[in-house]
Amino acid sequence: MRRMPGARLARTLALAIGLTVAGAVLAACSASPGDSEASPDRLTVSIKQGRLDVVNRRLVVRFENSGDGPVTVTRFDVRTPTFAEPLERTNPVELAAHDALDVRLDLPASDCDAEPAPVVVTVEYPTDAGSRTAELVADDPFEVVEYVSSADCLAESVADVATIVMPEHLRSTGAGVDRRAFIDVAIEPAASARSQDDDDDGSASMHLERVWGTTLLNAEDGTDWPLGLDIVAGADPFVVSLAVRPARCDAHGIADDKRGTILPFEIETGDGRAGRLDMPAGDTLKNELYGYYTERCGL
């Protein structure tokens, strides 16, 4: 049988390894004499976030070992163009056979000028011949990276137009079940446009369509707060008063709360970005909202 030329054989092997990595499965590196058979050839990785991870700006990197032997990752980093810098972990990740592990990492700032691309996780693992590295393309079934980038870049565009300031305290009247309360949100337009040039006069702009109700709080006369406000840089500051009522009246509402005091603002900016900008209540306002909820519900 005719032997394949060396250069052609090398290209064929490189292509086979590349296709395996693109499928998010770590291919065992070509072994030299003395290499162990413990290289993680059945390791996959995915990206996700829980509700508290969103609030705490953390990314969850999930490793799954579908092989019959243990896997150790001595370090890894996570890269994608929309992250301003890579995420890194230098502590080992150890997985038993058919095991999975979630690793939480603090999110960096987003690069709003970058084009989206797959998330690549570079892992380092030990062999008898020394450390080896390989790349995994992470699965992102819930489009977490896109969500993070969109939220960060919307916030950046909004900041070019105005600052949205949640109050320190809840304003209220009355007492007991007759108590009524208001969240007075300050809108402070920027003195001048910094990056948008949507209007003829060069000022930045945005449209504040509504504030959405939460699992804990609704509008006094409905679920959401429709606003329909157009805001431009250089305008005078003003206050939006949101009349609030409990969205439900049971003790579990507070006991189980994770995002009930985070108000989602529906905004479209003049540079074409649109979505929900989450505005969390500070600790004082959060506690006062819990107290109002308890008092008005008669709990």
CATH code (residue 97): 2.60.40.10
Which two tokens mark 81? 């163009």
pLDDT at 129: 86
* Cα–Cα dist 299/83, whole Å: 45
Confidence of residue 193 (pLDDT cuts 50, 70, 90): low
Say if residue 210's pLDDT is above 50.
Answer: yes
- Decide if 125 contacts 74 (C-beta within 8 A): yes
pLDDT tens digits for range 214-226: 999 999 999 999 9
Most confident of 42-56, 72-86, 248-262: 72-86
What percentage of the chain has pLDDT greater than the value 90? 76
* Cα–Cα dist 138/24, whole Å: 6
Buried b or exposed e, range 182-219, using 16+ CB within 10 angstroms: bbebebebbeebeebebeeeebbbbbbbbbbbbebbbb
pLDDT at 231: 97
Domain boundary among the residues 142, 162, 189 is at 142
Domain boundary among the residues 110, 142, 174 is at 142
* Cα–Cα dist 189/193, whole Å: 10
Confidence of residue 194 (pLDDT cuts 50, 70, 90): low
Confidence of residue 52 (pLDDT cuts 50, 70, 90): confident
Say if residue 14's pLDDT is above 80.
Answer: no
Neighbour count for residue 79 (Cβ, 10 Å)? 16
Domain boundary among the residues 142, 176, 202 is at 142
Residue 249 sits in which domain range? Answer: 147-297
If asked whether residues 91 and 155 sit together in one domain, one would say no
Q: Which of 39-48, 181-190, 203-212 shows the lowest mean pLDDT across its residues? A: 39-48
For residue 287, what are the contacts with CB-CB under 8 A and spacing of at least 6? none
Say if residue 8's pLDDT is above 80.
Answer: no
Q: Does 29 fall in a domain? A: no
The sign of the CA dihedral 101, 257, 105, 29 is: positive
Q: Does 50 fall in a domain? A: yes
* Cα–Cα dist 28/132, whole Å: 10
* Cα–Cα dist 249/177, whole Å: 11
If asked whether residues 210 and 160 sit together in one domain, one would say yes
- Decide if 60 contacts 87 (C-beta within 8 A): no
